[in-house]
């Protein structure tokens, strides 16, 4: 599905044929995202004020070798689809502003994006670039009582690129202590705490568990049709800024 209209059409077709179709959003099961949700739900940060999500790479060869703009090969479509879904799945769909850039100039590849989602007392930001020699933190969460910083990303992709596969490796996608996020907060007595948070284990296979449960057990789909449609709409609107 390349557009919102195509997404709506295929979901409707599945409904008419009594079939199950679900978008493959494996990044909902990244360890850094799961860990950040665990920290938020602990309540130690208090009421949330701001969340920053960064999805950075240093891969200048990709935009440098791309001489023309392509909507569906843009950075927003290739990577924004993941982080946008994380926001929609956890925080919901709200008013937003979108900044899309081509750092190498007009007509070149989209290589940067910045999206802000506005909620009643919270702003969630997604920022990504192909030109970050040193990554920004994967997640930063600010609350009225504290802050959580998860510097490093999930490790599944890192391990898979090294052909270090889940089978036979119990430590697959397991963060080491140097990868743990730091939670700093004041407790109800006003006492200061700073601690490492052991990372949750990511598992892309859970996407297949979800679809199995929907097909075989009749459970509600985890990745909702309306979330996928909303994500496609955001991608379509955002990329209109480029040409």
**Would you say residue 63 lies in a domain?**
yes
Give the pLDDT score at 31: 93
**Would you say residue 194 lies in a domain?**
no
The position carrying tokens 């919901």 is 92
107 conformational bin, left if phi > 0, alpha if psi -120 to 50, beta if neither: left
Per-position pLDDT tens, the chain of length 243: 888 999 999 999 999 999 999 999 999 999 999 999 999 999 999 999 999 999 898 999 999 999 888 888 889 998 899 999 999 999 998 877 888 888 898 889 999 999 999 999 999 999 999 999 998 999 999 999 999 999 988 877 777 777 777 777 777 778 889 999 999 999 999 999 999 999 999 888 899 999 999 999 999 999 999 999 999 999 988 888 665
Q: How far is it, in rounded angstroms, from Cα 84 to Cα 73?
A: 17
Give the pLDDT score at 37: 98
How does strand 122-129 pair with strand 48-54? parallel
Give the pLDDT score at 167: 78
Backbone angles phi, psi at 124, to 5 degrees: -115, 125
**Would you say residue 203 lies in a domain?**
no
**Would you say residue 7 lies in a domain?**
yes
**Would you say residue 171 lies in a domain?**
no
The reported pTM is 0.90
Give the pLDDT score at 58: 92
Instruction: Answer whether 136's CB lies under 8 Å from 125's CB.
Output: no
Give the pLDDT score at 153: 85
Instruction: Answer whether 141's CB lies under 8 Å from 45's CB.
Output: yes
Give the pLDDT score at 73: 85
**Would you say residue 106 lies in a domain?**
yes
Instruction: Answer whether 24's CB lies under 8 Å from 207's CB.
Output: yes
Q: Which domain holds residue 79?
A: 1-26+57-134+220-243
Give the pLDDT score at 193: 98
**Would you say residue 94 lies in a domain?**
yes
Give the pLDDT score at 202: 87
Tell me the two tokens of residue 241.
């800024």
Domain count, the chain: 1
Instruction: Answer whether 156's CB lies under 8 Å from 122's CB.
Output: no
DSSP string, the chain: --SHHHHHHHHHHHHHTT-------GGGG-HHHHHHHHHHHHTTT-SEEEEEEE---B-THHHHT--S--GGGSHIIIIIHHHHHHHHHHH---EEEEEEE-TT-TTS---EEEEEEEETTEEEEEEEESB-SSPPPSEEEEESSEEEEE-S--SHHHHHHTT--STT-TTTTPPPGGG-EEEEEE-TT--EEEEEEPPPPP-TTHHHHHHHHHHHS-PPPSS-HHHHHHHHHHHHHHHTT--
Give the pLDDT score at 241: 67
**Would you say residue 179 lies in a domain?**
no
The position carrying tokens 């004020």 is 49
The position carrying tokens 């969460």 is 141
């Amino acid at each position: 599905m390349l557009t919102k209209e195509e997404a709506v059409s295929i979901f409707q077709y599945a409904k008419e044929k009594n079939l199950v179709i679900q978008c493959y959003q494996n990044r909902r099961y990244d360890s850094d995202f799961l860990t950040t949700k665990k920290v938020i739900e602990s309540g130690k940060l208090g009421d949330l004020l701001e969340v920053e999500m960064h999805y950075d790479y240093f891969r200048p060869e990709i935009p440098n070798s791309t001489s023309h703009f392509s909507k569906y090969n843009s950075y927003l479509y290739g990577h924004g689809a993941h982080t946008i879904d994380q926001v929609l799945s956890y925080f919901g769909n709200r008013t937003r502003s979108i900044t899309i850039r081509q750092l190498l100039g007009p007509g070149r590849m989209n290589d940067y994006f910045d999206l802000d989602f506005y909620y009643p007392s919270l702003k969630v930001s997604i920022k990504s670039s192909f030109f970050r020699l040193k990554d920004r933190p994967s997640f930063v969460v600010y609350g009225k009582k504290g802050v959580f910083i998860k510097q490093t990303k999930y490790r599944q992709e890192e391990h898979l690129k090294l052909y270090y596969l889940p089978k036979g490796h119990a430590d697959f996608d397991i963060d080491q202590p140097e990868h743990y996020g730091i939670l700093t907060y004041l407790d109800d007595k006003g006492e200061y705490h700073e601690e490492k948070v052991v990372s949750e284990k990511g598992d892309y296979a859970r996407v297949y568990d979800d679809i199995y449960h929907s097909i075989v057990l009749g459970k509600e789909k985890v990745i909702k049709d309306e979330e996928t449609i909303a994500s496609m709409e955001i991608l379509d609107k955002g990329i209109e800024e480029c040409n």
